[in-house]
Structures are given as structure tokens and as C-alpha cells.
Chain A
Amino acid sequence: MNDKQMLLTVEFVDGVPMARILRFSGDLDSTNAEHVSEVVLSLLGEGVLHIVADFTKLRYVNSTGLGALLFANKKMKEAGGSMKIAGVNENVFEIIEIIGANTLLEIHRTMDDAIATLK
């Protein structure tokens, strides 16, 4: 069991009913990546089209976690929506860059920047 299990909470975005904020905290890795995919599929099932992933409190991500994010990104785009990521720490951003996922994911500096693109 991952003792610092990633916590994932879902919040509404003021004024954008088809969007949700996904707040990550802790570590996104092989022990919980699948949970992220399930949450995204569930939101899509509810008609959500836009996701803003808040990484401000995400300490760590591995390649499986990034795979889940790419999966989520793909699913949102296929549904005609979008996925945005904000608040990425330096170490996590470096891993995203090395893997080349920065060219596939829409990354914003702050949550305000990301949410502004929805309005």
C-alpha cells in the first residue's frame, strides 16, 4: 500500500458547468494511476468536457502516472473537450519534459491561467 497515497478530489469550476478541477496531492505512480483513468472516464460519462488538473500539491509522478494523464488527455480531446494542467513543480515538469509529454499536454503556470482559458 502506498502510505502517502495520492489524494484526488474533484471540484466544480465557477461559471463553467461542463468543467471540473481535479486536485492532485502526493505521488502519482503505478499504485494509483489507474484510479485517475477511472475518475476521468466517470467524469466523461457524466458529460464533463473540460478538466483542469491542479498539480500544486503533486510531489511526484512516474511514467505510469504520466501514461494515465496522457490517456485522460486523449479521452477528453476525443470527446471534443480539453485537459489542462497547472501548478507543476520543477522536478515533475522535468520528468514530463524528458518523456516528451509537454508537447502533448496543455500546461499552464497557474490555475488561474488554466481556468481563464475556459471562459
Chain B
Amino acid sequence: MTLPVSTVLLEPFAEEPTVSVLRLYGDIGLEAITRISALVDDLVEKKRFHLLVDLSQVNFLSSPVVGALMGCRERLMRRSGSIALLAPKPELAEKLNLMGVNLVFPYYSNKNAFLRHFRWEYQSESRSLTLEVPAYAGYVPAIRRLIAGLLLSKGYTPREAFQLESIVDELSNNAIEHGLPIDKKFSISFSFDKSSIHLAVANGCKTLSSEAQELIREKFRNPCIIPGSMRGRGIALVKKIASDMTFRVDAQRVQVSITKMREES
């Protein structure tokens, strides 16, 4: 298909039905503004509030068109929508950056990068990680830092990442030191989305008597910090940092799970 020098098309986004793609081709000047605005009006009327502007085939984008896109952004965001730019050529990206456009519109180099962000941001998609770890304290620092790093990479604050690092550390050390892991390993299940974090640390153990199970439950139920004592503060710390802590103690398995809600930004 041969397209005119300047073309503006609106298409559905096959991979994500809630997103529309505004595909621009060639040199986009003043004359495109009316069409872009009309297409966005139509989207708003149809209650489709997420727009990806594909710039991969654009050679030139005039400043008034950038202004028009800013207006579109305003209208979509007022309705809890979004607008993002896809794959501008390096020369165009440089020009847009000089205009400060990168401070207003997120850019994505490809569709997959956009989809990952979109689904995280607007569809509460979660990330998850499951690990089986040798029951040895030396493995814990790398794991807790990995989990903190994942949180930081998705916009959680350094304080939140630090607190999760503490929780991973304390629950892992608890499993190693007190869980008597029979197979010399324990498991960590970690998942998080935009609003909350879930973590479960579990270990198999030698068969526990009913009394032994109840003692462990009591430790989780009422962890106490004994003044002057050097140890035994880990579970109390976790309980204070986490939004919620639950536990399950069976004859041959102990699992502690926590939820931590994201702080209001």
C-alpha cells in the first residue's frame, strides 16, 4: 500500500483490545491536527481512553502537532486514560527530548515494552518469583537484595524495598534456624503488583508433635521481644513491618505469609 506523504490512521491494537493505535506516517504538520483531534474525540465518545501513538514511520512532527497531542493527553488522562509514544526515530526522539516531550509522554522502543508497562500500570498485572533455596544463611543476602531490586525497578520506594528486604531476611533466617528444614532447603514465593506485595516462606520439617506445632503457632501469634535478649526479634519485626502476617503449621510443614500494602505516594 502506498501512503500519502502525511497520513494519520487509527487502528485497534491486536495484543491489547483496550488500547487504540494512532499510526502516523511521513511528515506530520499543521494539517494533521484536525484529523488527530477528531479521532481522539471519537475515541472518547466510545469510552476508549488508552492511546498509543506509533511514530516509527514519522520523519517530521511539527510543534503544533506536539501541542495537539498534549491536548489529547489532557482529555484522556482526565478520564483515567493514557497516551504513550512508540518508537520515534532517533533524530525525532532527539528533537522531542529538546522540547521536553519525554517529560510528559512515556516513550517505548517496541510494543512489548509498552505492553509490559501498560498491563502493570492499568491492569494490575503482577510479577512473581518462586525460589527453592538451600537452607544456608549465606544464600539469603543475594535473595533479599534481588527482591528489593525488583521492587525498586517497578517504582516502589527505597523504604518499601528496604522493609521487604528485612522481611525476606527475617523469614528466611527463621526457616533456616528454627524451621528444621528436613530436606535442607526452603521455598520463597514472591509476587507483587502496583498496589501490594505478597511473600510466603515455607519449609518442610521433621514430624512435629501437636505440642510442638502449638508452640510454633504461639511464637507466630504472639512474638515477644524480651528486653536484654540478644535473639528472637525477627518475627516481631516482620509482624510490625507487614500489613498482615498469617502462618500455617502442619505436622511436616511450616509456612509464613505476609502481605504488604504499598504506601500512599
Contact = CB atoms under 8 A, between A and B. Distances in A.
Interface of A: 1-4, 27, 29-31, 60, 62-64, 66-68, 70-71, 74, 90-91, 94-95, 98-100, 104
Interface residues of B, number: 27
B141 A99 contact: no
Interface of B: 137-138, 140-142, 145, 158-159, 162-163, 165-166, 169-170, 173, 225, 227-231, 233-234, 236-237, 240-241
A98 B227 contact: no
Nearest to B225: A100
B137 A30 contact: yes
A66 B165 contact: no
10 contacts: A2-B138, A4-B141, A27-B141, A29-B169, A30-B140, A63-B170, A63-B231, A91-B159, A94-B159, A99-B233
Nearest to B162: A91
Contacts of A91: 158-159, 162-163
Contacts of A66: 233
Contact of B228 (A62, A64, A74, A94): A74
Nearest to B159: A91
The 10 closest A-B pairs by CB, nearest first: A67-B230, A63-B233, A91-B162, A63-B234, A30-B137, A2-B141, A62-B169, A71-B230, A98-B240, A99-B233
Contacts of A27: 141
A99 B173 contact: no
A27 B166 CA distance: 11
Contact of A60 (B159, B165, B228, B233): B165
B33 to A, nearest CB: 49
Nearest to B234: A63
Interface centre among A27, A60, A63, A66 (most CB of B within 10 A): A63
Nearest to B141: A2
B230 A62 contact: no
B237 A98 contact: yes
Contact of B230 (A29, A31, A68): A68
Contacts of A60: 162, 165
